[in-house]
């Protein structure tokens, strides 16, 4: 989230897209309800299904899954056409006035710099016209200014086109567009709330960017009650992301080095943003080396010296994509021997569970660290599996549950909150980090005894814990925070990190959470005394836990005030310039606190090379502006450019590996399906929780009433739902909450697939995995699987 949960109550309008917070985030949902109840905010839920969120929304728009780029595109077009954008904000805080280089082109669904052979864009080609100093040319009237190219790009997204693509009737779309258009006024603010309903598409990143562009145009980024707010799906998934759960980053969103980068200079040159405007701080780009050297110093200690390039060579430089689906692709290609799973179950998570099961069967060994038996630790029990043909040796290591350990959770709003263990660990279970420590020490021993390839990273890794076999999370938190090696003191800010090897930081964005004064994530000064703990009344509660970066509660908050430092809306200030004190006051400023506003002040978005928010961006793989592409499996051709119907930049694993095609067509699989969670369960683990199994005991699919009538299906009947990849045989729930859509003149039905059931848990014998249906393909940039849009057939059994 750019903002945080409590902040949502400041919004005048709440767009919920690709999310179902009433069901998936019922506790956080109170803040959406507070906005409604206390300030009369309108809540608009745009979703394929009428859910428990829609039930309390003011408007529900039924949208075809995977078409939110068209919906947001329509809103962007409406705001631009009717000159409803926040002009002063857009000129001050976005790259609207930057002039794009003259190689820019978009025709017939393809941007410039696409390589047909590799299926990749050269994103470096999407750039600005620059002057001699490398700064971008600024001229908002220029025909190739970002604003003018944006107008041109989105002019195709008329209400008619939005309706043709998304199935949202024009009058309904325009009613919402009118409400959204009002949010460009400085005294109004809108928030966009989203979740994996936007992420789980081949166009996932662009779906989210579409929302961000709309928010930048309306001047709503950086402001309380505004922003682009991702609801994270687990208590600590934000913490996971921050600490590099994704293959392509190191902790703190530093890029993983790529082959060919021989030293730190190469790495920084390829990874860090460059300054594109005279007044841009380019803080991230300028500090990149400080952060990377401090990380290397943390990991490799004395071996990280100037002479050794701070052990830069110890960091792997993956030659190929190593994201989630790629792991199984590698196993299917027979290139993977073993796999360790911790805190999740691959079999259930998919995509294309049958193919994942095959991948697991191809392994020599599989090690599952979990508190409970999972569909992976018992994967040979899956439907249609013949245990006799599985040669994989499976190890189950009993791990503690989070309820049995301390440590921090980082929530969606970036608040890092320390917790205590509630129960002592049972039997022989161990903490995951103890298992990993033990494993590391044994591997190190083996290297010592037997030698091996490239032992240096193993021998030189620092392991400075009191009991190396049992590091405490407190020790790890201090290590993550980082220290000044000269004074031996822990640091209070990442601004003090250096590139000369005198500082450490295990994750620079967490520097400051555990300074010398103590672990700030344990603080709980909250609503017991609002007058003292929330002096601005804006709900920042700076002494409740700690949020990255630097305890800032709203990111990019310099943009909450005008160039003179006055809040756009004095009723809902983020920060403001206090001329008497000579300081920015309010939230922790996203900005040097004593730098006065004025024509020569740094631009508000301190992290980017532009110094502004980016309407045009070269940091995504599939286009500098979002464009609507159909899901890989779609019932219609893309009305915008049928020749390039799906994104050209998606990586098709089976095709590339020479395996048979696993995508179906509308002729055989006529219905659109989407998968999701229900409020009663949390992924798969709650199949072990009796009270929740009682609430939601059995797998089902939701079927539109009209379609059910055609097929003679009633609630409770058993049905077979099949995709090209697999099937489910479960009960039907017939409802009008999933109605038919008119898409490009065609009647389209959508079927809903809750994900929670498998063959492990209290109710055994339900051998159906929702992800048996989902396609083995992911987003062009992030490779996140397309769980939310695929084709199926439906039959009554």
Partner 1 sequence: MAEITPGRAYGFFTDTSVCIGCKACEVACKEWNQLPGHEPAFGDGFDNTGGLDAQNWRHVQFIDNVPDQTMGTGQGKAWLMMSDVCKHCKEASCMEVCPTGAIIRTEFDSVYIQPDVCNGCRNCIAACPYDVISQDEQKGVAQKCTLCYDRMQGNMEPACAKACPTDSIQFGPVDELRQAAQQRVTDLQEQGVTEARLYGDDSSIYGGLNAFFLLMDKPEAYNLPNEQNAVLPRRNNAGGYLATLGTAVLGVFGGLIALRRRREPAAEEGDQP
Binding site for partner 1 (CB under 8 A): 22-23, 26-27, 29-30, 33, 37, 40, 45, 50, 52-62, 169, 172, 175, 679-680, 690-698, 700, 702, 705-706, 715-716, 731, 733, 735-737, 739-740, 762-763
Complex with partner 1: residue 484 or 680, whichever CB lies closer: 680
Query: Could you tell me which residues come within 8 angstroms of residue 316 by beta carbon, excluding any fewer than 6 positions away?
Result: 256, 257
Q: How many whole angstroms separate alpha carbon 173 and alpha carbon 71? A: 8
Query: Could you tell me which residues come within 8 angstroms of residue 400 by beta carbon, excluding any fewer than 6 positions away?
Result: 371, 425, 429, 430, 431, 432
What is the closest distance, in whole angstroms, from the C-beta atom of residue 635 to partner 1 in the complex?
19
Task: Report yes or no: 188 and 71 within 8 Å, Cβ to Cβ.
Answer: no
What is the closest distance, in whole angstroms, from the C-beta atom of residue 176 to partner 1 in the complex?
9
Complex with partner 1: residue 214 or 693, whichever CB lies closer: 693
What is the closest distance, in whole angstroms, from the C-beta atom of residue 189 to partner 1 in the complex?
20
Q: How many whole angstroms separate alpha carbon 573 and alpha carbon 537? A: 10
Complex with partner 1: residue 401 or 731, whichever CB lies closer: 731
User: Rounded to the nearest 5°, which phi and psi values hold at 635?
Assistant: -80, -10
Give the CA angle between residues 132, 115, 212 to the nearest 5°.
Answer: 65
Complex with partner 1: residue 645 or 686, whichever CB lies closer: 686
Query: Could you tell me which residues come within 8 angstroms of residue 12 by beta carbon, excluding any fewer than 6 positions away?
Result: 35, 39, 41, 42, 183, 188, 189, 190, 225
What is the closest distance, in whole angstroms, from the C-beta atom of residue 757 to partner 1 in the complex?
12
What is the closest distance, in whole angstroms, from the C-beta atom of residue 547 to partner 1 in the complex?
22
What is the closest distance, in whole angstroms, from the C-beta atom of residue 735 to partner 1 in the complex?
6
Segment holding 435, helix H or strand E: helix 432-450
Task: Report yes or no: 144 and 128 within 8 Å, Cβ to Cβ.
Answer: no
Complex with partner 1: residue 60 or 725, whichever CB lies closer: 60
Complex with partner 1: residue 177 or 311, whichever CB lies closer: 177
| Residue 189 CA from chain centroid, whole number | 23
What is the closest distance, in whole angstroms, from the C-beta atom of residue 407 to partner 1 in the complex?
25
The stretches of 202-352 forming alpha helices (DSSP H) are 204-217, 237-242, 264-271, 283-300, 324-332, 346-349
What is the closest distance, in whole angstroms, from the C-beta atom of residue 37 to partner 1 in the complex?
7
Q: Where are the beta strands (DSSP E) in 39-188?
A: 42-47, 59-62, 106-107, 110-111, 114-115, 120-121
Complex with partner 1: residue 631 or 754, whichever CB lies closer: 754
Complex with partner 1: residue 222 or 539, whichever CB lies closer: 539
What is the closest distance, in whole angstroms, from the C-beta atom of residue 12 to partner 1 in the complex?
15
Complex with partner 1: residue 543 or 696, whichever CB lies closer: 696
Q: Give the count of beta carbons closer than 10 Å to the beta carbon of residue 260.
A: 9
What is the closest distance, in whole angstroms, from the C-beta atom of residue 796 to partner 1 in the complex?
16
Q: How many whole angstroms separate alpha carbon 743 and alpha carbon 160? A: 11
User: Rounded to the nearest 5°, which phi and psi values hold at 518?
Assistant: 130, 180
Give the CA angle between residues 560, 563, 566 to the nearest 5°.
Answer: 55
What is the closest distance, in whole angstroms, from the C-beta atom of residue 457 to partner 1 in the complex?
47
Structure tokens at 612: 């502004």
Strand pairing of 228-230 and 190-194? Answer: parallel
DSSP 313: G
Ramachandran area for residue 23 (φ above 0: left; ψ -120 to 50: alpha; else beta): alpha
Complex with partner 1: residue 78 or 700, whichever CB lies closer: 700
What is the closest distance, in whole angstroms, from the C-beta atom of residue 109 to partner 1 in the complex?
30
Complex with partner 1: residue 412 or 784, whichever CB lies closer: 412
Strand partners, 136: 130
Complex with partner 1: residue 502 or 763, whichever CB lies closer: 763
Q: Give the count of beta carbons closer than 10 Å to the beta carbon of residue 103.
A: 11
Complex with partner 1: residue 6 or 60, whichever CB lies closer: 60
Complex with partner 1: residue 22 or 366, whichever CB lies closer: 22
What is the closest distance, in whole angstroms, from the C-beta atom of residue 697 to partner 1 in the complex?
3
Only one residue has tokens 């809103």, namely 75
What is the closest distance, in whole angstroms, from the C-beta atom of residue 170 to partner 1 in the complex?
11
Complex with partner 1: residue 598 or 716, whichever CB lies closer: 716
Q: How many whole angstroms separate alpha carbon 651 and alpha carbon 631? A: 13
User: Rounded to the nearest 5°, which phi and psi values hold at 220?
Assistant: -110, 5
Q: Where are the beta strands (DSSP E) in 74-153?
A: 106-107, 110-111, 114-115, 120-121
Complex with partner 1: residue 75 or 693, whichever CB lies closer: 693
Complex with partner 1: residue 154 or 173, whichever CB lies closer: 173
User: Rounded to the nearest 5°, which phi and psi values hold at 490?
Assistant: -75, 145
What is the closest distance, in whole angstroms, from the C-beta atom of residue 24 to partner 1 in the complex?
10
What is the closest distance, in whole angstroms, from the C-beta atom of residue 577 to partner 1 in the complex?
38
Only one residue has tokens 């800032």, namely 552
Only one residue has tokens 């701070």, namely 310
Strand pairing of 114-115 and 110-111? Answer: unpaired
- CA count, 13 A, side-chain hemisphere, 264: 22
Task: Report yes or no: 160 and 170 within 8 Å, Cβ to Cβ.
Answer: yes
Q: Where are the beta strands (DSSP E) in 380-525?
A: 393-398, 407-410, 415-419, 483-484, 489-490
Query: Could you tell me which residues come within 8 angstroms of residue 493 by beta carbon, excluding any fewer than 6 positions away?
Result: 511, 512, 550
Q: How many whole angstroms separate alpha carbon 167 and alpha carbon 453? A: 58
Q: How many whole angstroms separate alpha carbon 385 and alpha carbon 381? A: 6
Give the length of the chain: 797
What is the closest distance, in whole angstroms, from the C-beta atom of residue 10 to partner 1 in the complex?
18
Exposed, middle or buried by CB within 10 Å (0-12, 13-18, 19+), for 253?
A: middle
What is the closest distance, in whole angstroms, from the C-beta atom of residue 172 to partner 1 in the complex?
4
Complex with partner 1: residue 149 or 701, whichever CB lies closer: 701
């Amino acid at each position: 989230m750019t903002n945080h949960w409590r902040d949502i109550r400041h919004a005048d309008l709440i767009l919920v897209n690709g999310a179902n917070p009433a069901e998936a985030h019922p506790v956080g949902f109170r803040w959406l309800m507070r906005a409604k109840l206390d300030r009369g905010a309108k809540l608009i839920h745009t979703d394929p299904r009428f859910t428990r969120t829609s039930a309390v929304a003011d408007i529900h728009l039924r949208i075809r899954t995977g078409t939110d780029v068209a919906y947001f595109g329509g809103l962007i077009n409406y705001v631009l056409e009717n000159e409803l954008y926040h002009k002063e904000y857009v000129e001050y805080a976005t790259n609207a006035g930057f002039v794009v280089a003259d190689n820019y082109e978009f025709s017939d669904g393809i941007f410039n710099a696409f390589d047909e052979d590799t299926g990749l864009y050269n994103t470096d080609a999407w750039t600005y016209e620059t002057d001699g100093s490398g700064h971008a040319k600024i001229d908002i009237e220029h025909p190739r200014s970002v604003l003018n190219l944006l107008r041109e790009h989105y002019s195709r997204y008329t209400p008619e086109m939005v309706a043709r693509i998304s199935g949202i009737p024009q009058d309904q779309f325009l009613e919402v567009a009118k409400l959204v258009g009002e949010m460009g006024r400085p005294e109004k603010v809108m928030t966009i709330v989203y979740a994996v309903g936007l992420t789980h598409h081949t166009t996932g990143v662009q779906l989210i960017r579409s929302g961000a562009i709309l928010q930048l145009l309306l001047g709503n980024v950086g402001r309380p009650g505004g922003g682009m707010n991702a609801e994270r799906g687990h208590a600590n998934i934000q913490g996971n992301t921050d600490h590099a759960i994704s293959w392509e980053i190191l902790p703190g969103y530093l890029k993983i080095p790529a082959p060919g980068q021989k030293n730190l200079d190469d790495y920084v040159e390829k990874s860090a943003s460059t300054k594109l405007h005279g007044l841009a701080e380019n803080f991230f780009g300028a500090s990149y080396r400080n952060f990377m050297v401090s990380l290397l110093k943390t990991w490799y200690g004395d071996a990280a010296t100037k002479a050794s390039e701070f052990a830069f060579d110890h960091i792997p430089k993956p030659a190929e994509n190593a994201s989630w689906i790629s792991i199984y692709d590698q196993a299917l290609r027979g290139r993977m021997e073993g796999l360790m799973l911790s805190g999740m179950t691959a079999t259930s998570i998919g995509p294309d569970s049958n193919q994942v099961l095959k991948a697991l069967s191809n392994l020599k060994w599989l090690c599952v660290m979990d508190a409970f038996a999972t569909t992976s630790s018992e994967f040979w029990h899956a439907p249609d599996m013949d245990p006799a043909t599985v040669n994989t040796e499976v190890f189950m290591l009993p791990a503690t549950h989070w309820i049995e350990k301390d440590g921090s959770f980082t929530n969606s709003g970036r608040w890092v909150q320390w917790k205590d263990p509630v129960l002592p660990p049972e039997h022989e279970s161990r903490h995951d980090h103890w298992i990993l420590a033990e494993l590391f020490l044994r591997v190190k021993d083996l290297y010592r005894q037997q030698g091996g390839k490239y032992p240096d990273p193993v021998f030189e890794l620092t392991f400075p814990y009191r009991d190396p076999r049992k590091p405490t999370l407190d020790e790890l938190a201090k290590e993550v925070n980082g220290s000044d090696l000269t004074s031996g003191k822990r640091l209070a800010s990442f601004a003090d990190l250096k590139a000369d090897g005198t500082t450490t930081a295990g994750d620079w964005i967490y520097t400051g959470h555990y300074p010398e004064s103590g672990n700030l994530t344990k603080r709980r000064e909250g609503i017991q005394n609002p007058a003292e703990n929330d002096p601005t009344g804006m709900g920042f509660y700076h002494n409740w836990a700690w949020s990255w970066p630097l305890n800032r509660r709203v990111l990019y908050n310099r943009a909450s005030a005008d160039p003179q430092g006055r809040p756009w809306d004095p009723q809902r200030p983020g920060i403001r310039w206090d001329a008497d004190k000579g300081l920015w006051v309010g939230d922790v400023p996203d900005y040097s606190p004593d730098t006065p506003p004025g024509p020569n002040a740094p631009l508000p978005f301190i992290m980017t090379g532009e110094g502004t928010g980016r309407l045009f961006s070269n940091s995504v793989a599939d286009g500098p502006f979002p464009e609507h592409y159909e899901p890989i499996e779609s019932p219609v051709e893309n009305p915008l450019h049928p020749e390039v119907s799906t994104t050209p930049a998606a990586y098709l694993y089976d095709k590339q590996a020479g395996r048979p095609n696993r995508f179906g067509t509308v002729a055989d699989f006529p219905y659109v399906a989407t998968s999701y969670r229900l409020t009663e369960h949390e992924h798969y683990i709650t199949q072990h929780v009796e009270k929740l199994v009682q609430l939601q005991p059995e797998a089902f699919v939701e079927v539109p009433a009209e379609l059910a009538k055609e097929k003679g299906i009633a609630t409770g009947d058993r049905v077979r739902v099949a995709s090209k990849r697999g099937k489910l045989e479960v009960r039907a729930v017939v409802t009008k909450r999933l109605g038919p859509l008119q898409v490009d003149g065609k009647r389209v039905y959508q079927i809903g697939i809750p994900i929670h059931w498998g063959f492990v848990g209290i109710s055994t014998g339900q051998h159906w995995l929702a992800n048996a249906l989902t396609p083995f393909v992911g987003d062009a940039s992030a490779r996140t699987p397309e769980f939310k849009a695929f084709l199926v057939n439906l039959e009554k059994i």
